[in-house]
Amino acid sequence: MAGNIKLIVCRNPDEVAKRCAGLYIEQVRNKPESVLGFATGSTPEKTYVEIAKLAKAEKVSFSKALSFNLDEYWGLDGDHDQSYRYFMNERLFNHIDIRPWNTNVLNGKARFPEIECRAYEEKIVSVGGVDLWVLGIGNNGHIAFNEPGSPVDSRTRLVSLTQSTIDSNSDGRFFKKACEVPRCALSTGIGTIRDARKLVLLATGAKKAEAIAKAIEGPFTTDVPASLLQDHPDCTFILDTDAAGKLKSR
Ligand code: PGA
């Protein structure tokens, strides 16, 4: 079952990035004070390069926009080069005119994680909710750090990472060894993500094909967190042909 999920299949990762960047530019052009959701990981890296390029070429200003990120490693502060705050500054925020004080990333060093997570949820609500949130997907179907089994109504909280996620993030792209990867993270919940008005999930490469097929064509189940987007009213998956390779319905 595909539910409401809309599908865009692109020829390659570059085209995926251009399609997604185009959505962000259009969103901010139509509503300069948009609340934007961002993700980390290798999949959206090209999208961020494209957003910065397009914003400059088309003179689109992010100066009134606000942003929220999906998650942050627990125990890393924002200056750590593997923290998601650092990633966002380096890959995107330093290259567009978004105001640093309007960018929100969970504080991985917060003294009281419950208070940090509750405040994050309250801040999203207080600014009127997220207009457009981009997501990646883990090989195990996770979205943000909502690992299999995460409840559909889960909220921002301290979570443990699965071995599959630790292994994926220590393959040399980010951390070099599994022992370097934090075991926990602060993550927005599936309920937090489902509250966004528009969701765009990006996936590229054959390693993601199975998770994508299960998310779109499998049952709505907490075993595959991305399948919990099937009943979202405005969710688009932008895939390259490799990530779409195991879909029966294409
Ligand atoms: P990736 O991670 O983009 O680095 O593959 C995606 C995710 O784990 O959500």
232: annotated active-site residue: no
13 in contact with ligand 1, CB cutoff 6 A: no
Whether the per-residue pLDDT at 2 is higher than 70: the answer is no
CB-ligand 1 contact for 137 (6 Å cutoff): yes
Which strands make up the sheet holding 132-135, listed edge to edge? 6-10, 235-240, 198-203, 132-135, 35-38, 66-69, 103-104
Residue of 50, 71, 116, 217 marked catalytic = 71
Q: Hunting for tokens 């969710």 — which residue is that?
A: 235
Q: Read off φ and ψ for residue 246, nearest 5 degrees.
A: -105, 10
**Known catalytic residue at 45:** no
Which residues 6+ apart lie within 8 Å of 21 measured at CB? 47, 48, 50, 51, 53, 54
Which atom of ligand 1 is least distant from the CA of 40? 3
204-217: pLDDT as tens digits? 999 999 999 999 99
Amino acid at 132: L
Grade residue 148 by pLDDT with cuts at 50, 70 and 90: very high
Q: pLDDT tens digit string along 97-126?
A: 999 999 999 999 999 999 999 999 999 999
pTM: 0.97
Contact 213, 248 (CB under 8 A): yes
Residue 87, SS3? helix
Which residue in the list 69, 104, 107, 140 is annotated as catalytic?
140
